[in-house]
Chains A and B, each alone.
Chain A
Amino acid sequence: MNFKISKIKEKIIESLLFISGAVTSVTVVFIVLFLFSEGLGVFMKKPIEEGSVIAINKNNIVNEISAEQIKNIYDQKIVSWKEIGGDNDNDTIILFRIEDITNYYSEAEIGENFERLPLCIDKLIDSIPGIIAFFPEKYLAKNFKGKKIELENINGYQFFSGNEWFPTAQPAAQMGVKPLILGTLWVSLIAIILALPLGLSAAIYLSEIANEKLRNILKPLIELLAGIPSVVYGFFGLVVIVPLIQKVFEIPVGETGLAGSIILGIMALPTIITISEDAMRNTPRSMKEASLALGASKWQTIYKVIIPHSISGITAGAILGIGRAIGETMAVLMVTGNAAVIPHTILEPVRTIPATIAAELGEAPEGGLHFKALFALGCILFLITLFINLLVEYISSRNKYATK
């Protein structure tokens, strides 16, 4: 009887454990699927606000205008049709947005409820040869006499190679993620270059040189670093590190990639120190003693025996540190300046992927192009961290093989 009850108990516990495992896995799969289904949607969208049209005069010989050209036209960087393949007559581009209609027609002509607006727009586009018009599709007249410009869907090449990130630009949004990807990698790389030597030295000191008493004080202190909220790091960076960089390098602006790297380096330190210290302390006592017995000094033992033995743990720590740096949002958002330009030196402002998502998702209309583009950025970030995790997995498995 007793035996039976304990068996049932065991079964229940077993199934509970199974359910927990299943729930976690399903959640992860669900999140990934959701992320990618939303993110890939960006390639099914046109870079123009839904329900709007761009139209030109029917006699204009230009047939295709790219999203980038449209942005430059409306920013008045392109001012003549010749620059984008038009002819010499009617050379100047005349911009028209829906709110400009009152410059051409009186309110009485348009009608109280805009009932004659489609007709007015149609007449206007027909009468001005050099016009380019941007207006809501519902004001498109039935027998529209102008030429509608169809923009192509955003394609992968444009998305990854574009240099401009203007997701809310009107009439044509610019979705180039290259500066964001480069910014993220750049900041994380420098962060790890700064943090690795420091973290490694600290780990060696803690595991091999410090006495027990000091270690018991230092280790919790370092682990405390991981517990500080990232927004606090960000604020510290903005108020202390940013002015410091500005003064030291004598540059006009202190919000740079370097400021972000320093903050991220500090944030990655606990991960690097804890993991590599654990790895070093796992070096078998016999190996250390053998080395010392052969007459090697303490330092020789450290760099000839302990570091080679724990190299995979150290690498894993460093890579996990990078992983922490790449995904970090708030601290970076506050100190890097967030200008979406391709960085040439570390002393320039950069914009990272997590900062972009955090800053923009709140106000992006749901389901729209901008919203989907941010999800696509999330997918890119996910793939980067997935790659990093696989790398850790690979390195730690290699170690098991080596010690066998």
Chain B
Amino acid sequence: MLLQLECNININQIKLKINSMKITKVLLAILFTTNLSFAQKLKGSDTVLPLAQKEAESFMKSNKNSRVVVTGGGSGVGISALVDGTTDVAMSSRKIKMTEKMKLQDAGKASKESIVAYDALTVIVHPSNKVTQLKREQLEGIFTGKIKNWKEVGGDDLQIVVYSRESSSGTYEFFKEHVMKNKNYAANVLSMPASGAIVQSISQTKGAIGYVGLAYLENNTKAIKVSYDGGKTFVAPSVETAKNKTYPIVRPLYYYYLPSSEKMIKPFLDFCLSAEGQKIVEQTGYVPLPK
């Protein structure tokens, strides 16, 4: 949004100058077109969006004559834009799907994949909840609707209210694959349009449980320690535990691009993977790549 605005203002300024000083017209036109030819478009996942935006901003600061335009819309939107050729990079919070790969193939294209950061998913509950840790099997039971009351997992006699993201979100898919071993969510799971809404709802519902990215963790909800080895070790989510791989629910965030445009987007991609870019990853609340 901000970037687009900035761009618009620039264009307007240029237009003004053209009107007032005809001599500089040609010069400015050249400047304008060169600016355009460097514009790289990123589109896709709303999870990756804040990270990509920050990275684009600092990239443009150090590379004055390049432009990076970042827009959201969702992982699916990004990848279909890549197929249509309306974006250079598709940001995605899930792996590219079989059907999407086949679409690219039909269009005579192949895609290259680059992992730019990791995101740790935290399971959160209402702060007053007595339960502090859960096994993966228990989480599966809760989200598939087999476990319905908190007392079954060591809490109070209270109905469990399950919050999830919308079925379209990459977070939903990842949680299903990774925590629920590909079983489907129960039909009565509440789905919320955004991670912020999940945090808000859980903070005001006593029996609530849900999952959000690590970046959304605040004091009004409580993070649950998770065990993937049948209850031997429970690990609390944090950037540190995600980095040293003791915390199990971690997912990669991807950039997809065409091999043909690799040369053009290489500088930006290298910046994202550099030490400076990875520092931004940590600042935005995501987990940097292992060195």
Contact = CB atoms under 8 A, between A and B. Distances in A.
Partners in one complex: yes
Interface of A: 49-52, 71, 74-76, 97, 136, 164-170, 238-239, 242-243, 246, 252-255, 333-334, 337-341, 349, 351, 355, 358-368
CB-CB nearest 8 A-B residue pairs:
A362-B74, A363-B168, A363-B76, A337-B190, A363-B74, A359-B166, A366-B80, A360-B168
A330 to B, nearest CB: 8
A254 B193 contact: no
Interface in B165-188: 166-170, 172-173, 182-185, 187-188
A137 to B, nearest CB: 9
Contacts of A52: 98
B73 A362 contact: yes
B204 A254 contact: yes
B201 A255 contact: yes
B191 A51 contact: no
B161 A252 contact: yes
Given A165-B187, A362-B73, 18 more contacts: A51-B99, A74-B182, A74-B183, A166-B167, A166-B185, A168-B173, A170-B182, A238-B201, A242-B201, A252-B159, A252-B205, A253-B190, A337-B191, A339-B188, A339-B189, A360-B166, A364-B76, A365-B100
A75 to B, nearest CB: 5
A136 B102 CA distance: 11
A238 B200 contact: yes
Contacts of A239: 200
A289 B17 CA distance: 67
A191 B157 CA distance: 34
Interface in B189-232: 189-193, 197, 200-201, 204-208
B97 interface: yes
13 contacts: A49-B99, A74-B184, A164-B187, A168-B167, A238-B200, A252-B206, A358-B193, A359-B168, A361-B168, A363-B170, A365-B103, A366-B80, A366-B83
Nearest to B190: A337
A331 to B, nearest CB: 11
Contacts of A75: 144, 183-184
A341 B187 contact: yes
B167 A167 contact: yes
Contacts of B102: 50-51
Size band of the interface chain B makes with A: 35 or more
A253 B163 CA distance: 10
A74 B176 CA distance: 13
Nearest to A165: B187
A351 B189 CA distance: 11
B158 interface: yes
Contacts of A49: 97-99
B80 A365 contact: yes
Contacts of B99: 49-51, 365, 368
Contact of B168 (A168, A170, A238, A349): A168
B278 interface: no
